[in-house]
A and B are shown apart, each in its own frame.
Chain A
Amino acid sequence: DAGVTQSPTHLIKTRGQQVTLRCSPKSGHDTVSWYQQALGQGPQFIFQYYEEEERQRGNFPDRFSGHQFPNYSSELNVNALLLGDSALYLCASSRGTVGSTQYFGPGTRLTVL
């Protein structure tokens, strides 16, 4: 049983560029959440997708957007990259949207130069 997978593993971009990160949830899971983890900090919630719609959003600007596909996989898009967007981006999947165990992927390390 494959767990949560994310691609790419690492990414280097320059300021002002746009980036797309991808996530495939654990088998049987229908909900995907995205988190940003800066160095030395705990993960911060970006948003959550369920039934191809954004259901919850954290305190992140509109430069951060997402999408969920019919097969439950998800993308995170970040426009107009800033140096401060450099972080580990984590995807988590779960069954349903309320209180179930969340399983995290290995993350995508984004570096903005």
Chain B
Amino acid sequence: KQEVTQIPAALSVPEGENLVLNCSFTDSAIYNLQWFRQDPGKGLTSLLLIQSSQREQTSGRLNASLDKSSGRSTLYIAASQPGDSATYLCAAALTGGGNKLTFGTGTQLKVEL
């Protein structure tokens, strides 16, 4: 059974700081890994999707990496802004598991002025 863990559970940083969010998974037979953003009480916004054959993906100030052998993914946010404040969730899709996503519990990020 795939288990996904995110550390830390909460993070508070000053504006402008670069930061890294961590995601670990127990079953390395993943098809892809997806990072989402969730604002309070809202749905999920897809940020980046990394296929199992890829090592990283970039979108603007965001960079996500994937290391299947160690069961880890990281989301790097450069030059953080108050508008980045949200909960960040990672989710893994298993090979042979179709589109079923297994989510972590998220990292709640607060970027302060």
Contact = CB atoms under 8 A, between A and B. Distances in A.
Interface of A: 4, 6, 31, 33, 35, 40-45, 48, 55-56, 58, 88, 90, 92, 94, 96-107, 109
B100 interface: yes
B89 interface: yes
A102 B46 CA distance: 7
A88 B42 CA distance: 9
| Interface of B (DSSP majority class) | strand
A102 B101 contact: yes
A82 B104 CA distance: 25
A23 to B, nearest CB: 11
Nearest to B96: A98
B98 interface: yes
A99 B101 CA distance: 9
Contacts of A90: 43-44
| Residue of B43, B51, B97, B102 with highest tally of chain A CB at under 10 A | B43
Contacts, number: 72
A45 B101 contact: yes
Nearest to A58: B100
B74 interface: no
A42 B104 contact: yes
B108 to A, nearest CB: 9
A48 B98 contact: yes
| Residue of B51, B97, B99, B101 with highest tally of chain A CB at under 10 A | B99
A41 B98 contact: no
Contact of A104 (B32, B46, B49, B100): B46
A104 B93 contact: no
Given A56-B97, A99-B93, 8 more contacts: A33-B101, A35-B103, A43-B103, A99-B51, A102-B34, A102-B99, A102-B101, A105-B43
